[in-house]
A and B are shown apart, each in its own frame.
Chain A
């Protein structure tokens, strides 16, 4: 099977610090790939390079075989890569519907839209409601309520639903359960599996080993700015993963690919 996204020899330096040192990355269709690594291992630099938030100094990223180089998150988004950031990138005072369509609003048809630039609010509200119900998130009552009146889990749900609604190639989730309680984390994990089951490949960055081992199909372990190895969660224990990630143990085989 051809990977949907590959990265080869990615280098990113910040002044004298090398955050990414010839790092590789592969994401296959329909999988959940977890990315784990100690603090400072370069996980977020890797993810930012893929999502267009930073531009790598060297290396090549291919999306479906074609070389891409994103100069901004917007360009990555236009190419079909949606990212849910840890801070969610939602505007608290705007409504759920406004947030789902922020930056890609739909205008009314006819002269009201083309001349007066009027937004088609009923249509946006309908699509937003459909997307949220598809993912079983319609416990949210009113699509026009401000995001700041939602709970943490509901906000995460809105952000994931937004990514799932607009991402056509892949979704990147950065620490989606970090700020959530037990019950809300469970909901979000189910949501992630649900999105994967619709055929959308997902990159999951997380520090939570139980969550990673529960949902991931493969685990990419990042260490010292490089991909150390990729493991199958069924073959290894959480303590093995932590040992690889911290350098306490060397992975048996350099399964570099």
Chain B
């Protein structure tokens, strides 16, 4: 077609074989499989840990009540982890997600109990609070171009302080909530199937993860979230409004944190501003990272986050039943985090 240049004449005789896939090693094939199926590792680790504790603790571990108790324990962190996953997929991080949840819960409780607002309005007020906090993060990250770590480190402190100042650190008692606004405890309602106990909070966690999985994989918005985390400049040049996507992701993460607040009211019964001392944000990051969500953005499946939260839940329940020092759980979590990031780096090299 095009006239060939002098130095290219020898191309005809050049070796025509291209990199063949037949001879690639077993390890290479695993690497490729994991590259295209990011939730596989956490799923395998989860099954492995269930088997280990099953063998060690036998019939006591493999009861419907134990296994469903694990689900109840991870419902809140699972939902927060889902919110965190959205942010991490954009190559960001949200350190404030835990305190956004606490503040949203306090607002829900105060609106219903202290101000006597109708329960649905109180819940809505909590969602507005969470969303606004998330949008503040999103505004600072997308418009002011500040690094997400710094922004959310700042808002973590700010929101935590607002939480204590606003509430005067007063706990809202279970009895008051139950009389004033039973709707707040909605997610504590449990369905019993034999000895299996599934709370609506657990159902909500699963629904949240599935809904987000659908949005991330089967809508244009989801593809844009991945593209923004992968390479923001390329995304912008492809016609994606990067700022809008970022603002939306942080705002949605805030709204999901408010959902986690509602679920945690159901789980705890009461509402305490001092929940803010619990490292919910770190637990959410842990679930996402163990679940194979890359901290560099653009990679990972939200199903992995669910598996990640389950791994932490299974390990802590198993060690608990073995009567081990609770610090072993902390130690093992640390090992899992570092292993997960190491594996992530290795999978990335598939392109190289």
Asked whether, in the complex, the Cβ of B240 is within 8 Å of the Cβ of A149, the reply is no
Smallest CB separation, B301 vs chain A (Å):
12
In the bound complex, CA of A116 to CA of B220 (Å) = 11
Q: Interface 1/0s, chain A 125-163, versus B by CB < 8 A?
A: 000000000000001000001101100000000000000
Asked whether, in the complex, the Cβ of A77 is within 8 Å of the Cβ of B220, the reply is no
Q: Interface 1/0s, chain A 113-125, versus B by CB < 8 A?
A: 0001111010000
- Which of chain B's residues have a CB closer than 8 A to the CB of A74? 239
Asked whether, in the complex, the Cβ of B231 is within 8 Å of the Cβ of A102, the reply is no
Asked whether, in the complex, the Cβ of B234 is within 8 Å of the Cβ of A91, the reply is yes
**B215-232 interface (Cβ within 8 A of A):** 218-221, 223-224, 226-227, 230-231
Q: Interface 1/0s, chain A 172-184, versus B by CB < 8 A?
A: 0000000000110
Asked whether, in the complex, the Cβ of A91 is within 8 Å of the Cβ of B227, the reply is yes
Smallest CB separation, A110 vs chain B (Å):
15
**Given A98-B223, A186-B11, do A93 and B299 touch, yes or no (CB 8 Å)?**
yes
The one of A87, A117, A139, A194 in contact with B221, judged by C-beta atoms closer than 8 angstroms, is A117
Asked whether, in the complex, the Cβ of B223 is within 8 Å of the Cβ of A119, the reply is yes
For B3, B14, B230, B299, the residue with the greatest tally of chain A CB atoms inside 10 Å of its CB is B230
For B2, B18, B224, B299, the residue with the greatest tally of chain A CB atoms inside 10 Å of its CB is B2
**Given A92-B230, A149-B350, do A85 and B299 touch, yes or no (CB 8 Å)?**
no
- B212 contacts the other chain (Cβ, under 8 Å)? no
**Given A118-B218, A190-B2, A210-B5, do A103 and B238 touch, yes or no (CB 8 Å)?**
yes
Asked whether, in the complex, the Cβ of A119 is within 8 Å of the Cβ of B226, the reply is no
- B268 contacts the other chain (Cβ, under 8 Å)? no
Main secondary structure of the interface of A (DSSP, over half): mixed
Asked whether, in the complex, the Cβ of A190 is within 8 Å of the Cβ of B1, the reply is yes
**Given A77-B239, A91-B227, A146-B36, do A186 and B8 touch, yes or no (CB 8 Å)?**
yes
Asked whether, in the complex, the Cβ of B219 is within 8 Å of the Cβ of A214, the reply is no
**A63-90 interface (Cβ within 8 A of B):** 73-74, 77, 83, 85, 87-90
Asked whether, in the complex, the Cβ of A105 is within 8 Å of the Cβ of B220, the reply is yes
Smallest CB separation, B31 vs chain A (Å):
11
Smallest CB separation, A109 vs chain B (Å):
15
Q: Interface 1/0s, chain A 190-205, versus B by CB < 8 A?
A: 1001100000000000
Smallest CB separation, B327 vs chain A (Å):
37
By size class, the interface of chain B is: 35 or more
In the bound complex, CA of A70 to CA of B5 (Å) = 39
Smallest CB separation, A214 vs chain B (Å):
6
Asked whether, in the complex, the Cβ of A193 is within 8 Å of the Cβ of B239, the reply is no
- B277 contacts the other chain (Cβ, under 8 Å)? no
Q: Which residue of A lies closest to B21 (CB)?
A: A141
Asked whether, in the complex, the Cβ of A87 is within 8 Å of the Cβ of B233, the reply is yes
Smallest CB separation, A140 vs chain B (Å):
11
- A231 contacts the other chain (Cβ, under 8 Å)? no
**A206-220 interface (Cβ within 8 A of B):** 210, 214-215
In the bound complex, CA of A78 to CA of B351 (Å) = 33
- B267 contacts the other chain (Cβ, under 8 Å)? no
Q: Which residue of B lies closest to A150 (CB)?
A: B351
**Given A94-B227, A102-B227, A149-B350, do A88 and B234 touch, yes or no (CB 8 Å)?**
yes
- A104 contacts the other chain (Cβ, under 8 Å)? yes
- A107 contacts the other chain (Cβ, under 8 Å)? yes
Smallest CB separation, B240 vs chain A (Å):
5
Q: Which residue of A lies closest to B296 (CB)?
A: A93
Asked whether, in the complex, the Cβ of B233 is within 8 Å of the Cβ of A89, the reply is yes
In the bound complex, CA of A85 to CA of B236 (Å) = 12
Asked whether, in the complex, the Cβ of B239 is within 8 Å of the Cβ of A102, the reply is yes
For B219, B240, B350, the residue with the greatest tally of chain A CB atoms inside 10 Å of its CB is B219
Q: Which residue of B lies closest to A118 (CB)?
A: B218
Q: Which A-B residue pairs are the 9 nearest by beta carbons?
A: A103-B239, A89-B237, A148-B351, A105-B220, A102-B238, A91-B227, A89-B234, A91-B230, A117-B219
Query: Which A residues have a C-beta under 8 Å from some C-beta of B?
Result: 73-74, 77, 83, 85, 87-94, 98-99, 102-105, 107, 116-119, 121, 139, 145-146, 148-149, 182-183, 186, 189-190, 193-194, 210, 214-215
Q: Please give 17 more A-B residue pairs, beta carbons under 8 A apart, in addition to A91-B298, A186-B2.
A: A89-B234, A89-B238, A90-B234, A91-B238, A93-B298, A102-B227, A102-B240, A103-B238, A104-B239, A105-B220, A117-B219, A118-B218, A139-B18, A148-B351, A182-B8, A190-B1, A210-B5
Query: Which B residues have a C-beta under 8 Å from some C-beta of A?
Result: 1-5, 7-8, 11, 14, 18, 35-36, 214, 218-221, 223-224, 226-227, 230-231, 233-240, 298-299, 350-351
